[in-house]
């Protein structure tokens, strides 16, 4: 499994992903699921991937035009005139890779599936955040649905629903995502550290702070250990029922 | 879907279930999923059911021996010498009902599936709590796994993991379950009010307090409204990251 979140804030976009991939319980690996593209001063784009690893790696390679010699590459993702056009490009690439695998593969179609969260900003337009489905179609985040989750979404959702505010600082939003990821990691073995984090500040047109957060990260330990106590404090603050 | 929890406490057993059943989004009903049997002074047993409603209702009817005339009924569940034997009886009944439906049915086997949480105490033995699978086999709760969830288990799990203590009072445990159910109800349309609650106090050998909790229940409203604020307070109590 996987857990990735892309979040729209007043200040910009925030992305977080885990790095565990598994094929069965006894075959686990660490792979990056966050990929960024930028032309500083003009655009910055980040993708989060969930699903079949061969599919998502192939999609990223296609987007980077690795079929061409290094000197000939001019990725369309860096040329497309709008984020909507980028979403169409990513969706089409994803659909094509899945169809190609399904055609030659011996297993069920669904096992090649993947989903992608795409966010970024191109000069002249506001930041935009999309969720792209295996069929290549996509939806955009709005004020009522300002974040997308893919992979193992359920354990980490209640805290997002309760604590998310569009006006949050990046510092607070990172804290929120770490709580959400910690709850998920504690409940599902197939979601695991380290985490990747990427910030994009509105109208900066360049990738913001990026960080890899491992088990030894002092702040992550503070959140992971402190959240249990904080939650119990919150729980105790509610009145007991009279039976 | 459904959400049910059976919990082992030092003081006894606590059961909670929702009442929503659905066949598609536009075909919803309210049905009880909690069923109790007792011989006051000798035994008290409670079942929570999740899965195909025709299967679970049939299982309960079989356990109540409704195939016999009212005067002839002597349910085995009230005669079995041990909770282990009761679990075997319930598991066998469940397996037989599923097999019977699957044989005559036109649809996939799995659609007739159901799971059951069974808990109770028979004089001379301690209270016991079981989870029974569609295949009729079962597992028992222990100190390391003191509660079972069936149905939509994920949204409501993080708070159970963090706040459960075997030494909790029933008042506090009911509060914990209401928080867990509220998070689930807010996230999954197929889990809904009212909730059924059943307490069993160790060595009482009779059903304890039973309550139906609807949307108008003042305490449920306190928890549902208060938990958001309490969670935000807990969240704010953790330090923000330094970016």
For chain B, the straight-line distance linking the first and the last C-alpha, in angstroms and rounded, comes to 42
Query: Between the CA of residue A82 and those of A39, A78, A127, what are the distances in Å?
Result: 14, 10, 10
* Other beta carbons within 10 Å of B160: 18
Q: Which residue of B has its CA nearest to A218?
A: B241
Residue A205 falls in which region: left (phi positive, over 0), alpha (psi -120 to 50) or beta: left
Mean of pLDDT over chain A: 94
Nearest to B222 among A154, A170, A239 (CB): A239
Residue A169 scores a pLDDT above 80: yes
Q: Distance (Å, rounded) from C-alpha B135 to C-alpha B98?
A: 9
Find the CB nearest B157 among A187, A233, A243. A187
Choose, out of B149, B156, B234, the residue to mutate when testing the contact with A (most A CBs < 10 Å). Answer: B234
Task: Please tell me chain B's helix, strand, coil percentages from 3-state DSSP, rounded to the nearest 5.
Answer: 35, 30, 35
Check residue B170 and give its pLDDT.
98
H or E element in which residue A234 lies: helix A218-237
User: Under a CB-based contact definition with an 8 Å cutoff, are residues B98 and B92 in contact?
Assistant: no
- E strand or H helix that includes residue B65: none
Phi, psi of A83 (to 5 degrees): -65, -35
Are A162 and B232 a contacting pair at CB < 8 A?
yes
Q: Does the structure show a pLDDT above 60 at B63? A: yes
Per-residue pLDDT tens digits for A75-129: 899 999 999 999 999 999 999 999 988 877 655 555 789 999 999 999 999 999 9
Residues of A in contact with B212 (CB under 8 A): none
- Residue A68 C-alpha, separation from nearest chain B C-alpha, in angstroms: 38
Contact flag A241-B175 (C-beta cutoff 8 Å): yes
Mean pLDDT over each residue of chain B, to the nearest integer: 94
Tokens of B133: 């699978």
Beta strands in B178-224 (DSSP E): 195-201, 210-213
> How many residues can be counted in chain A?
243
Query: What are the φ/ψ torsions at residue A236 (nearest 5 degrees)?
Result: -70, -25
The domain locations on chain A are: 3-237
Tokens 């079972």 — which residue? B148
**In CATH, which superfamily holds the domain spanning B3-236?**
Aminohydrolase, N-terminal nucleophile (Ntn) domain (3.60.20.10)
pLDDT digit string, tens, across residues A185-202: 999 999 999 999 999 999
pLDDT score recorded for residue B157: 96
With a cut of 60, say whether residue A30 has pLDDT above it.
yes
pLDDT at position B17 over 70: yes
Q: For testing the chain B interface, which of A171, A235, A239 should be mutated: the one with the most B CBs within 10 Å?
A: A235
Q: Name the superfamily (CATH) of residues A3-237.
A: Aminohydrolase, N-terminal nucleophile (Ntn) domain (3.60.20.10)
What span, in angstroms and rounded, lies between the C-alpha atoms of B219 and B225? Answer: 10
CB contacts of A161 in chain B (<8 Å) are 186-187
pTM for this structure? 0.93
Q: Around Cβ A101, how many Cβ atoms within 10 Å?
A: 18
B37 touches B77 (CB < 8 A): yes
Decide if pLDDT at B141 tops 60: yes
Segment holding A164, helix H or strand E: none
**B101 by DSSP, 3-state: which?**
helix
CA distance A227 to B234: 8
Mean pLDDT, residues A177-190: 96
* Interface touch A172/B240, C-beta < 8 Å: yes
The closest alpha carbon to B30, from B194, B224, B171, belongs to B194
- Interface A–B counts its CB contacts (< 8 A) at 122
Percentage, residues of chain A above pLDDT 90: 88
- The span from the CA of B229 to the CA of B223, in Å, is 10
Kindly state the average pLDDT of the residues B187-195.
95
Which of B149, B157, B158 best tests the A interface by mutation, with the highest count of A CBs <10 A? B158
Residue A199 near residue A20, CB atoms below 8 Å: no
Minimum distance, in Å, between the CA of residue B58 and any CA atom of chain A: 32
- How many whole angstroms separate alpha carbon B91 and alpha carbon B130? 10
pLDDT for B121 equals: 98
């Amino acid at each position: 499994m996987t857990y990735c979140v892309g979040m729209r804030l007043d200040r910009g976009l925030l992305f977080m992903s885990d790095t565990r991939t598994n094929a069965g319980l006894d075959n686990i690996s660490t792979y990056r699921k966050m990929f960024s593209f930028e032309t500083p001063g003009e655009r910055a784009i980040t993708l989060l991937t969930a699903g079949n690893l061969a599919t998502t790696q192939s999609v990223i390679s296609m987007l980077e035009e690795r079929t061409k010699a290094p000197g000939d590459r001019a990725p369309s993702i860096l040329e497309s005139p709008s984020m909507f056009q980028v979403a169409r490009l990513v969706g089409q690439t994803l659909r094509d890779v899945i169809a190609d695998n399904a055609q030659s593969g011996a297993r069920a179609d669904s096992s090649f599936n993947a989903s992608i969260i795409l966010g970024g900003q191109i000069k002249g337009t506001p930041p935009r955040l999309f969720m792209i489905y295996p069929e290549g179609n996509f939806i955009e985040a709005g004020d009522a649905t300002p974040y997308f989750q893919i992979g193992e979404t359920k354990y980490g959702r209640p805290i997002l629903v309760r604590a998310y505010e569009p006006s949050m600082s990046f510092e607070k939003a990172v804290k929120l995502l770490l709580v959400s990821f910690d709850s998920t990691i504690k409940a599902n073995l197939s979601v695991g550290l380290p985490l990747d984090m990427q910030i994009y500040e509105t109208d900066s047109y360049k990738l913001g702070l990026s960080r890899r957060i491992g088990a030894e990260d002092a702040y992550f330990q503070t959140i992971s250990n402190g959240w249990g106590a904080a939650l119990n404090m919150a729980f105790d603050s509610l009145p007991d029922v009279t039976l």
